Structure 1
Amino acid sequence: MKGFYTIALLILSNTFMTLAWYGHLKFAEWKWFSKLGLFAIILISWGIALFEYIFQVPANKMGYNGNGGPFSLLQLKVIQEVITLVVFAVFTLLFFKTETFRVNHIIAFVLLVAAVYFMFKK
């Protein structure tokens, strides 16, 4: 069950991270937001990123086998990276209609899944 909660928290964390890192590119379409300076956008992104850490820190603490969780530190990192790329891909396709997936993107995702497989192989 700790593994499930760890992954769920990492998905939430990465959703906020993606929004903090790339959301401002989409938010710029809003009239009031487009008038903000860079410093204001950084502060807004930091506010959003706070929620990333609210979910990410407990996920790693709970999931790490040194704390009784099911994953090694290396496994946690690979899981996090795959989640990051999946969340980013979904975000991009939903919010940035100009982006498209090509064959090389699909191949890259397959290789990431292979990385997870080899990370967990005993």
Structure 2
Amino acid sequence: MPTLFLLIASNCFMTIAWYWHLKGGMSKPLIVVILISWAIALFEYCLAVPANRLGYASGWSGGQLKIAQEVITLVVFGVFMVTVLGEPIGWRHLGAFLCLIGAATFMFAGR
């Protein structure tokens, strides 16, 4: 459970670091956006690295950690896309999510 919590928190920071400037920050100089994004991403790394170490030490494989991270990323980005960027979720987004859920199911099957 700590692994999932840390992965969710790290993905929240990473999504903000990569995409915050698309809404209201487009007028800022690119170098300023890069520096702000790096500062935000530092917190992401401070959460992602322990999440992966804890998960691996708890018996998760590298593949399981990566698939879990991708599913979390899609969910976090979906929420960000709708709430912050004001973009709708379409059938392609849902299809991609279902494919990732399928991948996660295969990775964790029989565990």
TM-score higher than 0.5: yes
Match of 2:23, SS? helix
Residue 73 of structure 1 corresponds to which residue in structure 2?
62
Greater Rg, structure 1 or structure 2? Answer: 1
Calculate the TM-score normalised by the size of structure 1.
Answer: 0.85
Partner of 1:121: 109
User: Counterpart of 2:51?
Assistant: 59
Amino acid aligned to 1:59? A
Aligned-partner SS, 1:101: coil
What's the counterpart of residue 91 of structure 1?
Answer: 80
Distance 1:57 1:93 in 2: 28
Same amino acid, percent of matched pairs: 53
Equivalent residue, structure 2, for 1:42: 34
Query: 1:70 deviation in Å?
Result: 3.2
Correspondences of 1:19-38 after superposition (within 5 Å): 19-28=16-25, 34=27, 36-38=28-30
What TM-score do the two structures reach when normalised by structure 2? 0.93
Instruction: Could you list the structure 1 runs, at least 4 aligned residues long, displaced by more than 2 angstroms after superposition.
Output: none
